[in-house]
Every structure is written in structure tokens, then in C-alpha cells.
């Protein structure tokens, strides 16, 4: 939260192992009027930044900041006392910002402190970090501090500059840059060594965060990408399902964003093929698509043109080689999601058409194919895609790529065509189309992504007439393990124009089976359908 100007009154609480400095107070280590000031740890009170490129943070300093942070958390959320405490602690943090940022424990505390920071203290800390940009941005701890400082922009951009300016030791106001100037300066430095920062494991985080701040867009997908243990399918979920958050930025930021993203064109081959650098390009496309769509289209065309002029594959399309590559396929996924419909149609006709079943069967290329399906918004594109993919639905499921089938069903839901056809194909793929009595069992099969025989443990000889569905068999069996992808499939089907069959199958479930469904990943499908019917 943004805090107002400091109060001239003294706070009622003294921070542990540190003093309080209000307006006009004497420097650190000097006795206050009437009694000796309690001294902080060695070096805490220095006003000048450390010159050592690898500064050391003493245990005493760590103890001070730990106690100070604890006191801040216990203080009331608003009021003069808290404002003065925040000011005092951040003044000490400014003096040792580099040492804190490059220390594992210190960096975690500094990140928390920045969340409390008003505008001017944040600017001073950011200025210190910027003066040692390469050391901080490419450091495993420092990068997170720099990210945290940048992530305060949505909260502080546009804040009124504090009316009271701190007076330096010589009685003059210390020179300072505005937050806008600091960010633009930092972007300029990153631009000068763009390839280095984008290619560094830690530095690439800074580039991606900086682009989000310049574009006034916080990408939830970017946070989710690095939250730890996620399945490969979840990690490559459609970007469009993650909702970005927009905030106001000055026009200079958008101009700077375009200048920064122009650097991708200088070494486009690296950003297409290098795993770490490619992440930066992917984030840039997401932001530009929202804020500078024409420039986004320019970058997408550059990627497609470059890849289209490489050596051709055996099938004749050079793009197919990159669709099957672990790194470049991820960038192409993002390109597919941000292309406008005419360009997407052209890309499909030039490179995808006639090869969809091959792509669907490939362990890597099936992911960009899913993104192509996610991007389909017109009947003109869906019809040839559906015609080519629909005969292979059961084979694609058997190959372990249900995401392709679910993306195709999602396209049918979104465009509003081929819905009855795809539902019939699903019933056939899950072996519950014939005899008709089996159709009432489709919801458990779709939710668990199991065929009828596997779900009910039947042994049927090939070519034998399928057995009728027994109601007792469906009601006595506990619901199988609902998968996330199975839940997504049912969500799409419930939003079809005629969901009668799915509703009838849901109605055939017993109370315990419905309760089990509500307690598993599939519970979202019921909430999703209910909210959709009310809107």
C-alpha cells in the first residue's frame, strides 16, 4: 500500500536493535537529545552504498532486519507509528541493499520490506540495485529482489511524490530520479546487453518482469510457469485461459517496450532455439498482443518467415521440423495464440493442412497443434481441421494425447459447429455408442478417460457384439478417478447447444457418485456449467 508523508512526531515504539530517524534527526550512531541512542549492528547506519562488488552481510545486520520486519508485521496497518517504522527500516535497508539482495535470507526479508515501501524509499533502493544491475539481475537471490522492486509499480505508479523531501547531511536535497525515469533507465541498460540478460537463467526473469511492467500487464501464466511441480500437460496449458491483469502506465513505457522488443529481431535465431531466451520472446508476444498488436503481428511474421526459409522436412514444410522441437515449438505455440484469424488461416493452409494426424501423434508437435485448435474462431478454419482430425479421434486418445481431442471439442464449443458430430465420435471412441443403452454411462467414461470395457473391467472378444449396459453395474460401482483433462472435456460438452445426453448421464449417477465427483478435480465442471446457464 502507498504511505503518505512522514509524520514529524516521534513514534511510540522503538525498533529493536535500531533507532528511529524522523525529519531533521541526527545521523546514525549519534546520541539523541537527553539519552544515548541504541546502536544498530555494525554498518547498518552507513548512508553510502557498499563499494565491494560482493558485499558481506553480517549476522548482526541480519538480526536487525529480522527483528525490524517482525515489528512491522505486528504494527497497526495504518498510522504515524507504522509510517515512521517503515521509513527507518527502509533507510537502513537502502544503505545495505546490495548486501541484502545477494544474501539468501537477506533477500527474502528485503522482498517483504519492499512490499511495505512508499514511493521514495523504493526509488532509492531501486537506484542502488540498478547501479549494480548485472550483479543483482544475474544473481540467484538478487534477481528476486529486483523483481519484487519492479512488481511494486502497479501500486506506486502515479502516486504523488512525497511533499517532504529528506535533507542530506550537507543540508542539500539529495539528487533523485522519479520512478518512471528509473525504470526507463533500467530498460535502457537491459537493452544494451539484451542477449546476455535474456540468455541468463536468472537475468531472463528480470527481462520478463520488466516487459510486463512496461506494458502494464501482469501475466498470471508467467507466475504459474515456475510454481514448482506441475504435470507436463498442466505446464503447457493454453495461455489464453490465464487471465492477465492490466494497470495504467505512462506512454513512455509503451514506447520503451517496443524499443526493447525490437531487440528480438536482431538475434531471432537465438530466441527461437535457445530455451531460456525463448521464454522472454513468449512473454513479449503475450504483452504486445494486448498492448501493441501491430508490432506483435510484425514479430510473429518475422518468426514465421525465418522458420519457413529453413531447410525443408521430408514432408515439404520447413515449419514441421520446428513444431517437433522442444524449444521452438513452445514459441510457435504462443505465435499461434496471438495471430489474427486471416493470418492463422494462411498459416494452416501453408504448413498444417494434410499433416494434422501426424502432428497429433507426435510427442511434442501435438502441443502446438492444441494451440492451433485453441486459436480457431471461425467456421472456415474449423471445418477443414475437423474433417482431417475427426477420423483419428480414437487413435489419438490411444496414443496418450487426449489434449488434442479436448482442444478440438473446445473449438466446436467456441465456434458453434460440428457439435453433434464430435459428440458421436466421442461415444464411438469410448465404446459407448452402441448399443444405445451404453450412452447413459458416458459421463464416468469421459471424466476418467477410460473406454467402457476398461472402466467396467469387461473382457470382450474382438468382433463380438457389445453387451447391453446393465443399470445395476453402473449404480453399484464407485466412481473412478476423475482426471483434470476429463473434467475439461465434460465442461466443453456441458456448454454445447444440446447437452441433453450429458445431463441424462449425470442424472443416472447415484448420490455417492455425484458426491465423489464434487470432491475431485471434476467438481469444477458442475460449477462451470451452472454459472454458464445463469449468465
The string of pLDDT tens digits covering residues 404-425 is 999 999 999 999 999 999 999 9
CA-wise closest residue to 53 among 89, 101, 91: 101
Q: So what's the pLDDT on residue 21?
A: 36
3-state secondary structure of 496: coil
Q: Where in the chain is the domain with CATH 1.25.10.10?
A: 57-157+176-227
The string of pLDDT tens digits covering residues 374-414 is 999 999 999 999 999 999 999 999 999 999 999 999 999 99
Q: So what's the pLDDT on residue 70?
A: 86
Q: Does an H or E element contain 245, and which? A: strand 245-246
Mean per-residue pLDDT, 209-233: 70
3-state secondary structure of 378: coil
Mean per-residue pLDDT, 68-75: 82
Query: Measured between alpha carbons, how far is 359 from 378 in angstroms, rounded to an integer?
Result: 21
Share of residues in the chain with pLDDT > 90 (%): 59
Q: So what's the pLDDT on residue 369?
A: 97
Query: Measured between alpha carbons, how far is 63 from 69 in angstroms, rounded to an integer?
Result: 10
CA-wise closest residue to 82 among 174, 20, 28, 136: 20
- On the 0-12 / 13-18 / 19+ scale of CB atoms within 10 A, 173 is exposed
pTM higher than 0.85: no
The string of pLDDT tens digits covering residues 275-331 is 999 999 999 999 999 999 999 999 999 999 999 887 655 556 778 889 999 999 999
The string of pLDDT tens digits covering residues 317-337 is 778 889 999 999 999 999 999
pLDDT at position 241 over 80? no
How many other CB atoms sit within 10 Å of the CB of residue 3? 17
How many other CB atoms sit within 10 Å of the CB of residue 407? 25
Query: Measured between alpha carbons, how far is 48 from 344 in angstroms, rounded to an integer?
Result: 56
Query: Are 177 and 185 spatial neighbours (Cβ–Cβ below 8 Å)?
Result: yes
pLDDT at position 175 over 70? no
Query: Are 323 and 316 spatial neighbours (Cβ–Cβ below 8 Å)?
Result: no
3-state secondary structure of 217: strand
Query: Are 244 and 217 spatial neighbours (Cβ–Cβ below 8 Å)?
Result: yes
- CATH of 57-157+176-227, picked from 1.25.10.10, 3.40.1080.10, 1.10.10.10, 3.30.9.10, is 1.25.10.10
Amino acid at each position: 500500500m502507498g504511505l503518505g508523508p512522514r509524520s514529524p512526531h516521534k513514534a511510540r515504539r522503538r525498533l529493536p536493535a535500531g533507532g528511529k530517524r524522523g525529519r531533521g534527526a541526527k545521523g546514525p550512531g549519534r546520541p539523541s537529545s537527553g539519552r544515548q541512542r541504541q546502536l544498530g549492528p555494525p554498518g547498518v547506519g552507513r548512508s553510502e552504498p557498499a563499494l565491494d562488488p560482493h558485499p558481506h552481510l553480517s549476522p548482526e545486520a541480519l538480526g536487525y532486519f529480522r527483528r525490524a520486519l517482525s515489528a512491522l508485521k505486528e504494527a497497526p496497518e495504518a498510522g504515524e507509528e507504522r509510517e515512521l517504522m517503515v521509513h527507518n527500516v527502509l533507510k537502513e535497508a537502502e544503505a545495505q541493499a546490495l548486501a541484502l539482495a545477494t544474501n539468501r535470507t537477506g533477500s527474502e526479508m528485503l522482498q517483504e520490506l519492499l512490499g511495505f515501501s512508499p514511493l521514495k524509499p523504493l526509488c532509492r533502493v531501486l537506484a542502488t540495485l540498478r547501479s549494480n544491475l548485472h550483479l543483482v539481475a544475474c544473481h540467484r537471490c538478487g534477481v528476486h529482489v529486483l523483481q519484487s522492486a519492479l512488481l511494486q509499480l502497479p501500486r506506486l505508479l502515479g502516486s504523488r511524490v512525497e511533499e517532504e523531501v529528506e535533507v542530506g547531511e550537507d543540508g542539500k536535497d539529495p539528487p533523485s530520479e522519479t520512478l518512471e525515469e528509473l525504470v526507463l533507465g533500467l530498460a535502457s541498460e537491459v537493452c544494451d546487453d539484451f542477449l546476455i540478460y535474456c540468455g541468463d537463467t536468472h537475468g531472463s526473469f528480470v527481462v520478463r518482469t520488466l516487459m510486463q511492467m512496461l506494458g502494464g500487464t501482469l501475466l498470471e501464466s508467467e507466475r504459474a510457469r515456475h510454481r514448482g511441480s506441475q504435470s507436463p500437460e498442466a505446464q503447457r496449458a493454453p495461455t489464453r485461459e490465464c487471465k492477465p491483469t492490466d494497470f495504467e502506465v505512462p506512454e513512455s513505457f509503451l514506447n520503451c517496450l517496443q524499443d526493447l522488443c525490437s531487440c528480438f529481431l536482431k538475434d531471432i535465431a537465438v530466441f527461437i532455439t535457445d530455451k531460456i531466451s525463448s521464454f522472454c520472446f513468449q512473454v513479449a508476444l503475450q504483452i504486445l498482443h494486448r498492448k501493441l498488436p501491430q508490432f506483435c503481428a510484425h514479430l510473429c511474421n518475422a518468426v514465421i518467415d525465418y522458420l519457413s526459409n529453413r531447410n525443408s522436412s521430408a514432408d515439404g514444410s520447413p515449419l514441421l521440423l520446428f513444431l517437433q522441437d522442444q524449444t521452438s515449438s513452445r514459441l510457435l505455440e504462443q505465435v499461434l495464440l496471438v495471430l489474427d484469424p486471416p493470418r492463422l488461416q494462411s498459416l494452416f493452409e501453408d504448413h498444417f493442412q494434410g499433416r494434422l494426424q501426424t502432428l497429433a501423434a507426435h510427442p511434442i508437435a501435438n502441443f502446438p497443434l492444441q494451440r492451433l485448435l485453441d486459436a480457431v474462431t471461425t467456421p472456415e478454419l474449423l471445418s477443414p481441421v475437423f474433417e482431417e482430425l475427426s477420423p483419428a479421434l480414437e487413435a489419438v486418445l490411444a496414443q496418450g494425447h487426449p489434449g488434442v481431442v479436448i482442444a478440438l471439442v473446445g473449438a466446436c464449443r467456441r465456434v458453434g459447429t460440428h457439435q453433434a458430430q464430435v459428440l458421436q465420435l466421442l461415444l464411438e471412441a469410448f465404446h459407448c455408442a452402441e448399443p444405445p443403452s451404453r450412452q447413459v454411462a458416458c459421463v464416468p467414461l469421459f471424466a476418467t478417460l477410460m473406454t467402457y470395457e476398461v472402466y467396467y473391467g469387461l473382457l470382450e472378444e474382438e468382433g463380438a457384439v457389445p453387451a447391453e449396459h446393465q443399470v445395476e453395474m453402473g449404480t453399484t460401482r464407485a466412481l473412478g478417478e476423475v482426471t483434470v483433462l476429463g473434467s475439461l472435456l465434460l465442461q466443453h460438452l456441458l456448454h454445447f447447444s444440446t447437452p441433453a445426453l450429458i445431463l441424462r448421464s449425470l442424472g443416472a449417477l447415484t448420490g455417492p457418485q455425484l458426491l465423489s465427483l464434487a470432491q475431485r478435480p471434476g467438481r469444477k465442471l458442475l460449477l462451470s456449467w451452472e454459472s454458464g446457464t445463469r449468465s
